[in-house]
Structure 1
Amino acid sequence: MSKKLVLIDGNSIAYRAFFALPLLNNDKGVYTNAVYGFTTMLLRILENEKPTHMLVAFDAGKTTFRHKTFSEYKGGRQKTPPELSEQFPLLRELLDAFDIPYYQLENYEADDIIGTLAKQGEKDKWDVRVYSGDKDLLQLVSDQVEVHLTRKGISEVDTYTPSFLQEKMEITPEQVIHMKALMGDNSDNIPGVPGVGQKTAVKLLKDFNTLEGVYDHLDDVSGKKLKEKLETHKEDAFMSKELATINTSSPLQVGLSNIEFTGYKEKDVLSIFKELGFNSLVNRIEGEVSPEDEGQDELPDLKYKIVRSLEDVSFSSVEAIIVEMLEENYHTAPIQGFGLVNEDRKIFIPTDVALASETFKQWAEDGSFKKIVHDSKQTKVGLLNQGIDMEGIEFDLLLASYLLNPSETLFDIPSIGKRLGVTSVLMDEEVYGKGAKLQVPEEDKLAEHVVRKTDLIFQLRDKAEELLKENEQWKLFKELEMPLALILGEMEHHGVLVNEDRLKQMREELKERLEQIENEIHELAGEKFNLNSPKQLGPILFEKLGLPPIKKTKTGYSTSADVLEQLQDKHEIIPKLLMYRQLGKLQSTYIEGLLKVIYNDTKKIHTRFNQALAQTGRLSSIEPNLQNIPIRLEEGKKIRQAFVPSKEGWILFAADYSQIELRVLAHIATDDKLIEAFQEGMDIHTRTAMDVFHVEADEITDNMRRQAKAVNFGIVYGISDYGLSQSLGITRKEAKQFIDRYLDSFPGVREYMDSIVQQAKQLGYVTTLMNRRRYLPEITSRNFNLRSFAERTAMNTPIQGSAADVIKMAMINLHHRLEEEGLQARMLLQVHDELILEAPESELDVLKKIVPEVMEDAVELKVPLKVDYAYGKTWYDAK
């Protein structure tokens, strides 16, 4: 079998991925865009190349042997943005999961590692493939070595062979070094010969073959000025050649024999994909995780009973109960059976037996019988779907485990058990299979598995409770998360009514609007063509209409969104094309997406709230994600017209906190200026602009306020100078000055940031107002990138987490207040800092009074909480 060696320039590909993709971060707030882009390319490489040997090379540091030759080598480069440098440890974790070797060598660059291994592979007649964004590596091209260079982003790659290099650049691989010696390289601060560009360098090499040939025949060089420049900068040219030459004999501690690649274990890759939030990549991983891979433990004996009649079953003592449902969406999942465990017995009750029993229903709905569950929200919804309203849930193992360490990603019963030192149950997929192979086993196997899980809940309750109390989180658990879970369960079960006809009408309206824009574009282009085909659109824009091409792909001109945005003011066709694409996405992703998740029997959307996902404590929602409905475009905002009350004569009432995170910041930072601004009811962005720009309120321009707003919210999320520069379209230097002026203006904020980092280093975690913890083990890491991410997280978690605590407490208090007042009004949704209720119009005056009152009194801060509200016949009207 022939050997194939794939070598990847880790720094180069990560760097290009970072700048090619928007600043993505997962639900834990970790930036992941570079890792995501790198991963998509890696999957393509593995699929296309099927390597037998593989290595990812990284730069070891800023100083290399080249700096001895020229101390200013790479001297002009900007500092790596922290949002990128923080991702390199994640990238190494990803490579570990793929079982792909990686390597760096002190005093050498990734290019040198790649060059040395490529030459070894070439010598042994292996097929060698190099992936990078760095043209320096073109000097390695040969009959055995292909160099794949990214163009701008990472999705488009040119494959360089000797013939393609000759065709593209009119030089041989050996001449790459000589060309760089002559023309230099700004990105690496290699001087070359001033005034010699690529065109001149290629002509000189065509005439004289090498740099030495140029200087041996200097009298034959045409052009007096060029000859003078070559003479004056001869030393620079030869030094540049030395700098540009890859060391293919670097003293590596790795060789071809120990970088073999035999594939990866799907379960390891799936695990890190889930941890990083790369849900879209999960489906690309082929194969199934076999039970053998999971390393099954020997299970202890279990005595249990399958109960066919509940007449003789006593429900007098505290029970652990599981309502077993296999599908993730418990709104539609059938119940497979019930497990019940206490000190005296362990039983499995088949679904039909339990649901036909009045005894079971009475026990479930009697709050004086206390129950222990794994997931109270799932249990609540699953039984509500069967007409049983379970009361008396006093312990939720999932929420307890989440509060103990929200950075964990697995909260199933076996995983929680392992973390608390008990392994007495198999993973669900080992019993049921997964994906297309998912199936319910015969009753005995099902019963044993369900009872084992129920028994484990029963065993773990005391240990989890003890840990929560040690952490001083028992109050947070009992008074916030537990009550909220049951309220969320009721909200999920009730759902929100959707006007399907209005959505379909919007679909038709958008269709007509898209057709209208399409006709306008065709008219401007002077011909009809397929707007969704870059092959057809490119020539129209860049040949027929003469617009400047920004970048090209293998198949022609790039017409990507970033290209079109740069051309917006060049021709009136461009804004229409951008609008066409935005409206097309609205129609396909949101209108069609919502239509797919309307339940046939209720005509409602029953979104599922994630209560144990974000490390900050924030709620999110799925199927559908109601926090993602775009409202910047009016057409997107109109989607909210389809959300309506469930009864005639009712209205929707929306109330949201105004700038809650900035108010929390003012409270915990005890900054006098911020506190004063909020207490006086001043616009906080105007106040910030006044302090940062040293002007009076009437001198504030719209742009000043916009910049102040960006830095206000940026501070909350731990923004860096790079992040602020991107959001405001200014240089990093200007952004850094802006942040420094902000912190000088608000010394309490600066002091808070310094003190919270020190506190995190001492304790290993930070807390919110209600004692929610987030652990930061990297806060004392010697690795600068890991440590800086942890420091940023230490600053923003207490702010975001406390804001989450406040709105959760408001939901609980409001739920109770609505009941106390005897109102029919009920909460439907929570989206960011907004609560949406439905109520009869007759209750409107009461809601106007009590909703802001309850929300503003949820907690007591040094500044007032402010709630705005609106109402109407649809969610759109309640704005």
Structure 2
Amino acid sequence: MNKKFMIIDGSSLIFRAFYAIRNLTTKDGIFTNGVYGFLNMYYRVVDEYKPDNICVVFDKSAPTFRHEDYEAYKGHRDKAPSELSSQFGILKDILNSLNVKFEEQDGYEADDIAGTLAKKAQEENYDTILVTGDKDYLQLVDENIKVLLTRRGITDVDEYNEESVEEKYELKPIQLIDVKGLMGDPSDNIPGVPGVGEKTALKLIREYDSIENVYANIDNISGKALKKKLEENETLAYLSKKLGTIFLEVPMDIDIEKYKIEEPNYEELKEKYEKLEFNSFIKKLPTEEIEYEEDFEYVFIKDSSKILDKLKKSKKDFAFHLFYNGSNYIHSKPEILSFKIIGEEKVYIYILKDEKELLDFKEIFENNSITKLSYDLKSDIYYLLRNGIDLKVPYEDLTVAEYLIDPSKNSYDIDKTAKLYLNRDLFSNEEIFGKGKKKKNLADIEEEQLGNYIGMYMSVTEDLRKTLTEIIEERQMHDLYFNVELPLIKVLASMEVEGFEVDAGYLTDLGDKFNEEILELEEKIYEDAGMEFNINSPKQLGEVLFDKLQLPVIKKTKTGYSTDAEVLDKLKGSHKIIERILRYRTVKKLTTTYIDGLIKLIGEDGRIHSTFNQTIAVTGRISSIDPNLQNIPVKTEEGRLIRKAFVAGEGKKLVDADYSQIELRVLAHLANDEVMLQFFKEGLDIHRKTASEVFNVDFDKVTSLDRSNAKAVNFGIVYGIGDYSLSQDLNITRKEAREYIENYLNTYKGIKKYMEEIVEVGKEQGYVETIMHRRRYIPELNSKNFNIRGFGERVALNTPIQGSAADIIKIAMIEVYNKLKEKNLKSKLILQVHDELIIEATEDEVEEVTNLLKEIMENAVKLKVDLKVDINIGDSWYESK
């Protein structure tokens, strides 16, 4: 059998994937849909066809030889969106780690390079497999060359060989060039013969074999109109054939052996996949056996007093950690308490018989003369607070330290941290406990294995302290670490313990109301459709809309018609069933995702205890899970009604304080933009004023739509938005979006200057900083690849703004928490959402809490523009927002 050479059209596949897989980004906003789709296809075809050699080919942005023949070639195409173009560099970077060669060349297109390589491979007796979304490749098919053509989406393909091409078109593959010459190709702006479509073109070539023979037999062409079109456009027909012919002589020094498949660099791939959050691809990477190091001695202790006596006598700093079963400590209980006195070898392991036993250690945990050290300290503090133990400073958390050093990681695991900073090999959590349904509990692990696992955990915690703290100090993040992030751990743990009271009865009633509407909508939808069907089945819904009701088909997927939100939105007004389906989906999601989901999470105390994440967002923002309280709907009235279920306890009120446009104020401060600073100082509505300036409208004539669009531009600039994304957000053309952005930067020249300067600062330093010296390293800024560099520039702009806003609210949270305790107030901080803080205040403390909140939040830091806080008070989150 011949060896197999696979050639993949990278430009075609990443382009198709970008539009087929919508809204796929990492947590820090890197668009990954194109790369993800490409890799899905790559792994599939390589696994299925097992090629010996492989090459990926790309287009270049420079004009090709075809532009010399026809200046308008592809002239109508808009520039690729920055969200797509930035992904080419990411893909090429991954290909380097896969050890897969790629080719691109000025003056030629990807299909020319692919054709040239295929021809050379054929001469050397290779069977070639071309993978693409471009039908032009079918002209290359012969006995040694087949084409895998993507149909819908990105992983659904049709395989074409000589037989299947001839069966489909009743022509030889090479004759498809002549068909294209006659019919043209609107996507490439190839003119063809005006008025001649695919059906006519196929008929002519089937009858006369080629364009040349068509014109040699022009007198025999039936139909005066067709004959006239052909005669008047003979030059265009030959030009179009030339434009549509894949060039097979690209000047390349081709050595087929150069493309031989090699072993990938798995270590690099894992690092890159982790950064891109491609967990499914990480699982495809091989794992290796490792040896584990020990520098400790573990001891299981049955009498808690023995550990306590040793801790008291030593008077030394100690490492500790509470081990629990399950993935979420809030819904678990501590099973094991472990200690290691700093500088000593022994690790003490105490199996808790009851959570209340933690009170035995209250004295040592509340000792403010000893530093308490942990890896994943928040879970520890949560359990201590839950049992009436207030862990006193000083304490340190190596998870948070590592997060500050490298905030780009998806997760912080002690085994990975130990390998990276200490070059020590540890058992991973998965190696000890397994995963999925077969995951073991602590009690299921043999004593020796459990002792080694906990011993290594505690030993590494101690050893990491010096290494990570030194880096913190070197990077001038001492204040951020010790005075912001570490104190914040206790604040977040306290909020988790307090929870938020929920009116379960109200939620149930609201759910019943929504379920009634769902049933009514179902009946009306069935009536509109003339039949009953599963509305939640995209397949059945597609058949009803497009086969039975004959609505225009917008998009197809590999399983049939697409009925996603984008498709239904475009079908609005075409049939009354569309609005009802959209309403049905909205109410159904509110019921299943929010109402049912929230009811399940209400604790025995009638409160929901969310988990607050401190080490997730690369910008320093806090997030929450189980439930994600930051995601409670606010854009629709029905969604806002869910907030009515979050209530103040008996005899209490909710005091809700929200920073007003904090990110824009931070931007005005950092950019020192005199125009925006002045607008803020005058107390103007910044979005209305921006609309007035950017859209050239009198301030008092700005419409609500103008203001809404200006708001999108204001915040879009903060996020480094491109014209493509802005056009999608506002449903305008990319040209209009570009004009909006240009007008904005001409209005706020200080911001424009800042955007340019912060990028240069990032390039020189390798990182950018927030007001609290929170760093984000941006190696992409110095990439030779334009697209990767463009992503780095957006990050350089965005990070200081979002990160500084995060710093400010964290400083405010700590001060609020401390003041409430200092004043012995019964009111508690219970929630942080973006720029908003909520305190559950006893009725007699509402006024004092309101003044305290406003004073602290507005003076958390000093900027060139005043911080402003809006405060509302109510019995529910709905009323107080």
Provide the TM-score with structure 2 as the length reference. Answer: 0.90
Query: How many angstroms does 1:709 deviate by?
Result: 1.4
Query: Would the alpha carbon gap of residues 233 and 769 (structure 1) be closer, same or farther in structure 2, given more than 3 Å must change?
Result: same
Q: How far 1:488 sits from its partner (Å)? A: 0.4
The match for 1:639 is 642
Give the secondary structure class of the aligned counterpart of 1:361.
Answer: helix
Change (3 A) 1:275 1:326: farther
2:685 maps to: 683
Matched, 1:524 2:528: yes
Give the whole-Å Cα distance in 2 for the aligned partners of 1:298 and 1:235: 75
Tell me which residue corresponds to 1:190. 190
Give the C-alpha shift of residue 383 in structure 1.
Answer: 3.5
Q: Which amino acid aligns with 1:302?
A: F
Does 2:574 correspond to 1:577? no
CA drift at 1:718: 0.6
Contact 1:689 1:705 in 2 (8 A): yes
Structure 1 spans left out of the alignment, 5+ residues: none
Superposition map of 1:416-565 within 5 A: 416-423=417-424, 425-436=426-437, 438-439=439-440, 440=442, 441-552=445-556, 557-565=561-569
Q: By how many angstroms is 1:17 displaced?
A: 2.0
Task: Show the counterpart of 2:625.
Answer: 622
Q: Give the 3-state SS of the residue equivalent to 1:844 in structure 2.
A: helix
Say if 1:124 and 1:526 are closer, same or farther in 2 by CA, change over 3 A. Answer: farther
Cα deviation for residue 269 of structure 1 reads: 6.8
Do 1:64 and 1:106's aligned partners in 2 also have CA atoms closer than 8 Å? Answer: no
SS at match of 1:842: helix
- Matches of 2:335 and 2:118 in 1, distance apart? 58
- Write the distance in 1 (CA, Å) between the matches of 2:144 and 2:593: 45
Answering whether residue 402 of structure 2 is matched by residue 401 of structure 1, we say yes
- Unmatched runs of 5 consecutive residues or more in structure 2: none
Q: CA deviation at 1:199?
A: 2.9
Query: What's the CA shift for 1:773?
Result: 1.0
What letter matches 2:296 in structure 1? Answer: L
Q: Distance in 1 between matches of 2:79 and 2:172?
A: 34
Which string of whole-angstrom CA distances, capped at 9 and with x for unpartnered residues, describes residues 798-831 of structure 1? Answer: 1111111111111111112222332211111211
Contact 1:60 1:104 in 2 (8 A): no
**Residue 106 of structure 1: aligned partner:** 105
> How many residues end up aligned between the 2 structures?
869
Are 1:173 and 2:173 counterparts?
yes
Do 2:90 and 2:788's aligned partners in 1 also have CA atoms closer than 8 Å? no
Assess, with a 3 A threshold, how the Cα gap between structure 1 residues 286 and 865 changes in structure 2: closer, same or farther: closer
Alignment of 1:4-403 (within 5 A): 7-42=7-42, 45=45, 55-64=55-64, 66-67=66-67, 70=70, 73-95=73-95, 99=98, 101-107=100-106, 108-115=108-115, 130-141=130-141, 147-151=147-151, 153-154=153-154, 157=157, 160=160, 171-247=171-247, 251=252, 253=254, 255=256, 258-260=259-261, 272-278=272-278, 281=280, 290-292=287-289, 296=290, 299=293, 301-309=295-303, 310-311=305-306, 312-315=309-312, 316-325=315-324, 327-331=326-330, 332=332, 334-352=334-352, 356=357, 360-385=361-386, 388-403=389-404
What is the CA-CA distance between 1:436 and the residue it aligns to?
4.8
SS in 2 for 1:76: coil
CA offsets, 1:27-56, max 9 Å, x none?
A: 122122322333455566567667776554
Q: Which one-letter code corresponds to 1:321 in the other structure? A: F
Q: Conserved in 2, the CA contact under 8 Å of 1:182 and 1:196?
A: yes
Helix, strand or coil for the counterpart of 1:467?
Answer: helix
What is the CA-CA distance between 1:495 and the residue it aligns to? 2.2
Distance 1:394 1:553 in 2: 54
Per mean C-alpha deviation after superposition, the further-off stretch among 536-545 and 30-39 is 536-545
Preserved CA contact (<8 Å) 1:113 1:252: no
Is contact 1:414-1:427 (8 Å) kept?
Answer: yes
CA distance in 1 between counterparts of 2:172 and 2:263 reads 34
Shift of 1:191: 3.5
Deviates more, 1:620-629 or 1:663-672: 620-629
**Separation in structure 1 between the aligned mates of residue 743 and residue 358 of structure 2, nearest angstrom:** 69
CA contact (8 A) 1:221 1:227 kept: yes
Q: Partner residue of 2:757? A: 755
For 2:496 and 2:180, how far apart are their aligned partners in 1?
Answer: 64
Shift of residue 682 of structure 1? Answer: 1.0
Q: Is the 8 A contact 1:54 1:100 kept in 2?
A: no
Shift in Å at residue 263 of structure 1?
A: 10
**Partner amino acid, structure 2, of 1:801:** G
Inter-partner Cα distance in structure 2 for 1:224 and 1:507: 69
CA deviation after TM superposition for structure 1 residue 409, in Å: 4.1
- Cα distance in 2 for partners of 1:153, 1:734 equals 29
Q: Is the 8 A contact 1:117 1:256 kept in 2?
A: no
* Inter-partner Cα distance in structure 2 for 1:171 and 1:632: 56
Matched with 1:726 is: 728
- Contact 2:296–2:345, Cα closer than 8 Å, also in 1: no
Distance 1:261 1:522 in 2: 57
Q: CA deviation at 1:786?
A: 1.4
* Residue pair 2:768, 2:799 contacting (<8 A) in 1 also: yes
Give the C-alpha shift of residue 121 in structure 1: 7.8
CA displacement, residues 735-785 of structure 1 (integer Å, 9 cap, x when unaligned): 222211111111111111111112112211111111111111221222111
Q: How much has 1:518 moved relative to structure 2?
A: 1.3
Q: How far did residue 491 of structure 1 move?
A: 1.2
Partner Cα separation in structure 1 for residue 860 and residue 245 of structure 2: 66
| Aligned-CA RMSD value | 3.3
Structure 1 stretch displaced more, 797-806 or 627-636: 627-636
SS of the residue corresponding to residue 876 of structure 1 reads: helix
Q: Give 3-state SS (helix, strand or coil) of 1:792's partner.
A: helix
* Closer/same/farther in 2, CA of residues 603 and 174 from structure 1, 3 Å limit: farther
Query: In 2, distance between residues paired with 1:123 and 1:334?
Result: 69
The letter of the residue matching 1:18 is F
Q: Provide the C-alpha distance between the structure 2 equivalents of 1:351 and 1:492, rounded to a whole number of angstroms.
A: 25
1:164/1:592 CA distance change after superposition, 3 Å: farther
Rounded Cα–Cα distance in structure 2 between residues aligned with 1:482 and 1:554:
50
**Residues 1:288 and 1:161: Cα distance change in structure 2 (over 3 Å):** closer
1:739 to 734, 738, 741: 741
Most deviating of 842-851 and 9-18: 842-851
CA distance in 1, matches of 2:62, 2:606: 61
CA distance in 2 between counterparts of 1:850 and 1:327 reads: 39
Letter in 2 for 1:479: N
Between the aligned partners of 2:436 and 2:693, the Cα distance in structure 1 is 57
Partner of 1:380: helix, strand, or coil?
A: helix
Secondary structure of the residue that 2:879 maps to in structure 1?
Answer: coil
CA distance in 1, matches of 2:843, 2:833: 23
Q: Give the Cα–Cα distance (whole angstroms) in 1 for the partners of residues 541 and 322 of structure 2.
A: 55
Partners of 2:394 and 2:354 in 1: CA distance: 18
Distance 1:587 1:176, change over 3 A: farther
Q: Secondary structure of the equivalent of 1:454?
A: helix
The residue correspondences of 1:584-603 to structure 2 (distance < 5 A) are 584-599=588-603, 601-603=604-606
Alignment check: 8 A CA contact 1:56 1:100 kept: no
Query: Could you tell which deviates more after superposition, 61-70 or 479-488?
Result: 61-70
Q: Deviations over 1:120-162 (max 9, x none)?
A: 8889998865443212122244677654444564366555566
Closer/same/farther in 2, CA of residues 662 and 65 from structure 1, 3 Å limit: same
Identity of aligned pairs, percent? 44
Range that drifts further, 217-226 or 123-132 = 123-132
SS class of match (2:575)? coil
Instruction: Return the match for 1:663 from 662, 665, 672.
Output: 665
Could you tell me whether the CA contact under 8 Å between 1:766 and 1:794 is conserved in 2? yes
Counterpart of 1:706 (choices 701, 705, 708) is 708
Structure 2 counterpart SS, 1:615: coil
Contact 1:61-1:106 at 8 Å conserved across structures: no
Counterpart for residue 697 of structure 1: 699
